[in-house]
Amino acid sequence: MADNRTDPARIDTRGSTLRVPRSRGALSGILLVLLGIWGAAIPFIGPAFSFAFTPDKAWTWTAARGWLEVLPGAVTLLGGLILLASANRLTASFGAWLGVAGGAWFVVGPQLAGLLHIGSPGTPAATNTGLRALESLAFFYALGALIIFFAAVALGRLSVLSVRDVRFARRREAAAAEARAAEDRAAARRVERERQRSAGSPDARQREDVQNDAHAHRHFGFRRGGASTEQERSAQAEQGAYQPSHLDERSSGASSSNEH
């Protein structure tokens, strides 16, 4: 019985799957960076350790070294950095293809140097046959083959649309949809508050006026002392809620006579 979580027929693949985790090409990217640095730097520092192609002098620039070793090494280094930094499937694949191109040039470049008139790569400087073979492999052929291998591994991993990629895309799209819905709800609440404020009910306006009057009383009452009390009495007199004290005494006297 198929697992519903991994059954391709039950997985929604309509979402964008161009974004991938950066860990997808991280290992290949690191190895390509190291191999690119090796390929571009070894012709200049190798002669110091008696490990070189002719001319066997450290930090000596030639056109052949620039075209056949520095250029492919720099291209490989750039491809590895793109693989490390990019979370986009197409961009990371471009970095891997740069690695393939750099590795391929390490392999075929020495054979095409004479045809392209870019200078001679030289010959291994060692006198021992085994060491000469090792220099040829380390400077060009094995180095290029390793670069092509790791770049191809990265391309293979990036070209596969896995269940993990689909789930990653679905989670990202769900989070983005939730964020948009939250923004829409907040905007709707702001519009509703503005509408109620501009065309609110009488009760709401009355409560707001009462709150404003209470705030004004608290703010100015301490400064103006009795003036606020006189204003309150005047307001109560206008509303019929306040009666002077002599009227209270007169009314109380009338009620006492009636009682007698």
Q: Which domain holds residue 180?
A: 173-203
Q: How far is CA 180 from CA 118, 175, 186, 193, in A?
A: 58, 9, 10, 20
**Interval 183-215: pLDDT, tens:** 888 888 888 888 777 765 555 555 656 566 666
Q: Report which listed range, 92-106, 177-191, 231-245, is most confident.
A: 92-106
Q: Retrieve residue 90's tokens.
A: 């197409």
Same domain (yes/no): 77, 184: no
CA distance 76 to 29: 9
Query: Is the predicted pLDDT of residue 256 greater than 80, yes or no?
Result: no
**In a domain? residue 24:** yes
**174 vs 180: CA distance, rounded Å:** 10
Closest CA relative to residue 92, chosen from 165, 141, 38:
165
Domains in the chain, number = 2
236 is a domain residue: no
For the segment 138-156, what is each residue's pLDDT rounded down to a tens digit?
Answer: 999 999 999 999 999 999 9
Q: Does the residue 244 lie in any domain?
A: no
Q: What radius of gyration do the chain's Cα atoms show?
A: 42
Per-residue pLDDT reduced to its tens digit, 113-129: 999 999 999 999 998 99
Tokens of 200: 């609110």
137 and 177 together in one domain: no
Q: For the chain, what is the mean pLDDT?
A: 77
Please give the average per-residue pLDDT across 43-69, as a whole number. Answer: 92
pTM of this prediction? 0.61
